[in-house]
Amino acid sequence: MGIQRNRSSFFPILVGVVTCCIAMTVTLLMTYAEYRWQRSMSVSHASEHAGQYKAILGKALAENLIVIDAVEGLLRLAPNPSYNDFQQLVKPLLDQRPTIKQVEVAPNAVIKLVYPHSEDNAIIGLDLRSLPGQRKVVEETIRSQRFRLAGPVNLIEGGYGAIARKPIFISPDGQHDGEQFWGFITLILDVNRLLSEIVSEESDTMTRYAIRGTDGLGAQGGVFFGSPDVFKQPVVTHTIPVPGGYWQLAASVDLSRISRRWEMLMFSLVGMVGSVVVGVLAGILVLQWQHLHTKATRDSLTRVYNRQRIQEMGAQEVQRAQRYNHPLSLIMIDLDSFKLINDRYGHLTGDQVLQESTDFIEHAVRGCDLVGRFGGEEFVVVLPECDVCEVAVVAERIRFELCRTLSIDYQQVNLSASLGTATLQRSECFEDMLNNADIALYEAKRTGKNRAIAFSPHLIST
């Protein structure tokens, strides 16, 4: 008795220790889940904003670069425009586009017209080929006859800007044939103003953004906004097309900054609630999860897979069969005259017929085969590693199992089934197999029921 009493006294302590361990494990798992959720939200936030910034930058570039087209139209009408004509065209366009710092027209790559007109005219008469680091870009632009975006670079007139430079080729006689290099139209964009949307977002300490691709070189170009470290582990990367290439926008999240201060509160709560309550709650959570999982994947009446789950698993089997070039077959089963059974014997009897039919089907197939209720009195069986000949044998075995008289509540219920089979062909998907099996099933019912028909293409035309 003493030993038994000691054991009884020790048991609550053991339960308390075990329950506390379970509670600690659950708490750690919940902490990790919360961390992952916060990380997911941070990544989602960064991805969403990066996508918005890509759209904003792309739209801003397009709206600003359209000014070059307007100036080109003027030059084609008047290859040597006066400054007044140039100013009348450009001024209203730039008034609406504060990102554009300057528009330059450079016949034969020598700057002649500039708006806004600077007081010192330091760049008038400047040969673009003489700019530091720009000679190669200028010559390549002339040779390729391509619209290019150079930089961003430090500008001679001060500031930091991107240079959109388009070579203009004009025919002396006004025709498209024999066009010769006339010069450049250059647009200088204020990069800081262009990137102002992203700069304002930098107040978010967890998310960092960066852009690279100087001279439109994309991933091979230098980083001109943000830190190069962003590109080491980006959560998202976007390509922004620019004239002559692209920029690359990336966002990264500093996961070390994710706050987890709520952990102490969680552990304090676990300590106050007590080991037993935590154990009970853990058990309830597990039972609830099992219930939801079963409800989501199983048919509530027959306990086989429901329609959604059998379609998901069937699609997976199709991918596996196609990947490894293995056979895959499908059987669609329809209980004959089931509506008459419901009408004559009642829905409760009909439910029992469905349950017993499920047992017969599962008894006739292999353990690796997938059985699901497709709806009403229809069932689907997915048979991996099963070819045309083998599925015919299985279908006949199922038909034989279902062809019987059931005794339910002292009532004799005659049961039979019609079956349609289909075997996976190259390039088919699971929906194609279902459709083919359904066509074969229709043929089985049309020709007298209680039989199994294999799909063949000629059934489509009948």
Provide the CATH number for the domain around residue 376.
Answer: 3.30.70.270
Q: What is the CATH number of the domain that holds 127?
A: 3.30.450.350
223: three-class secondary structure by DSSP: strand
Q: Which structure tokens are listed for 233?
A: 């582990």
Residue 89 inside a domain? The answer is yes
Q: Tokens 């570039």 label which residue?
A: 61
| One domain for residues 100 and 229 | yes
Q: Which structure tokens are listed for 87?
A: 């100013």
pLDDT at 27: 67
| One domain for residues 287 and 303 | no
The one-letter amino acid at 438: D
**Residues 445, 449, 455, 458, Cα dihedral to 10°:** -60
The phi, psi pair for 239, rounded to 5°, reads -100, 130
pLDDT at 308: 94
Query: Cα(226)–Cα(208) distance, rounded to whole angstroms?
Result: 7
Question: From the centroid of its chain, how far is CA 180?
Answer: 48
pLDDT at 1: 36
**Could you report the per-residue pLDDT of 310-349, keeping only the tens digit for each?**
999 999 999 999 999 999 999 999 999 999 999 899 999 9
What count of residues does the chain have? 462
Cis previous bond, 152, omega within 30: yes
DSSP code at position 130: G
Q: Tokens 């990380």 label which residue?
A: 39
DSSP character string of 338-365 = HHHHHHHH-HHHHHHHHHHHHHHHHHHS
Q: Which structure tokens are listed for 227?
A: 């830190």
Domain that holds residue 356: 298-461
| One domain for residues 70 and 159 | yes
Grouped pLDDT means (10 residues each) for the chain, 462 residues: 39 54 69 71 82 86 85 81 83 84 85 77 77 74 81 74 85 67 86 75 70 87 87 88 88 69 51 60 57 83 94 96 95 94 91 95 94 94 96 96 91 94 93 96 94 92 65
pTM: 0.49
| One domain for residues 79 and 160 | yes
Residue 2 inside a domain? The answer is no
| One domain for residues 44 and 122 | yes
Helix (H) or strand (E) segment spanning residue 423: strand 417-423
Contact at 8 Å (CB) between 372 and 306?
yes
Per the structure, how many domains does the chain have? 2
DSSP code at position 118: P
| One domain for residues 323 and 343 | yes
